[in-house]
């Protein structure tokens, strides 16, 4: 009798596992600031550069999570990448920055929130154009697919009725083997 209780418990767990589905969509993209042609260098209008690109930083909520990476390639002996607030961005103030992105000259910064990120280069290079504002927007996920319907119009699963029984059968078979083949 003790084994019978364990068997039913295992069956219930297997049924529950086979009925639960979790889908997480993660999109990760790397965007090179200035492209390969320029990189993070002075005398480039990065505001115009960004306008002329089809780069859209969009975070999808609920079903998907977008992770966008801004890649800065530069000579770390001369330049830096500092995340700053809007006032510091507009006035090229490189003190009291939010975060120093500079590590090795091939640096990546994750854009994980829906907001505008402001980056400048210190040492006066901001005045020579080394600054960029990257807007990241959040949009709701695309509409869900309508449920599949059978020939008579009633909703069904993607596996169909037979596929659902197949999953249940596999789960029950695995439970049986776990309990009786020790």
**Amino acid 4: pLDDT:** 61
**Amino acid 62: pLDDT:** 39
Tell me the CATH number of domain 33-139, given options 1.20.1440.230, 2.60.40.420, 3.40.50.150, 3.90.170.10.
2.60.40.420
Q: Domain segments of the chain: what residues?
A: 2-22+149-180, 33-139
- Mean pLDDT by 10-residue block, N- to C-terminus, for the chain (182 residues)? 60 51 47 78 87 58 59 93 98 96 92 90 95 81 61 57 56 58 53
Report the chain's C-alpha Rg in angstroms.
27
Say how far apart CA 67 and CA 28 lie, in whole Å.
Answer: 5
Separation in Å, CA 53 to CA 42, 47, 132:
19, 10, 13
**Amino acid 30: pLDDT:** 73
Look at residues 107, 111, 101 and name the one whose alpha carbon lies nearest to residue 65: 111
- What single-letter DSSP state applies at residue 58? E
**Amino acid 63: pLDDT:** 42
CA torsion 166-171-177-178 (nearest 10°) is 170
**Amino acid 102: pLDDT:** 94
**Amino acid 117: pLDDT:** 94
Contact call for residues 46 and 129 (beta carbons, < 8 A): yes
Whole-model pTM: value is: 0.59
**Amino acid 135: pLDDT:** 86
């Amino acid at each position: 009798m003790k084994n019978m209780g364990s068997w039913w418990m295992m069956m219930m767990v297997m049924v529950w596992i086979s009925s639960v589905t979790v889908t997480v969509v993660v999109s990760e993209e790397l965007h090179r600031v200035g492209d390969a042609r320029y990189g993070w260098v002075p005398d480039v209008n990065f505001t115009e550069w960004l306008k002329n690109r089809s780069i859209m930083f969009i975070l999808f909520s609920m079903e998907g999570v977008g992770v966008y990476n801004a890649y800065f390639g530069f000579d770390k002996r001369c330049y830096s990448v500092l995340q700053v607030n809007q006032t510091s961005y507009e006035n090229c103030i490189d003190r009291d920055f939010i975060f120093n992105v500079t590590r090795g000259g091939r640096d990546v910064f994750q854009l994980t929130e829906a907001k505008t990120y402001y980056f400048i280069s210190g040492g006066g290079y901001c005045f020579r154009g080394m600054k960029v504002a990257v807007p990241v927007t959040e949009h709701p996920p695309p509409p869900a697919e309508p449920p599949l319907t059978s020939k008579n119009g009633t909703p069904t699963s993607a596996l169909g009725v037979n596929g659902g029984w197949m999953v249940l059968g596999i789960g029950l078979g695995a439970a049986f083997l776990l309990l009786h083949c020790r």
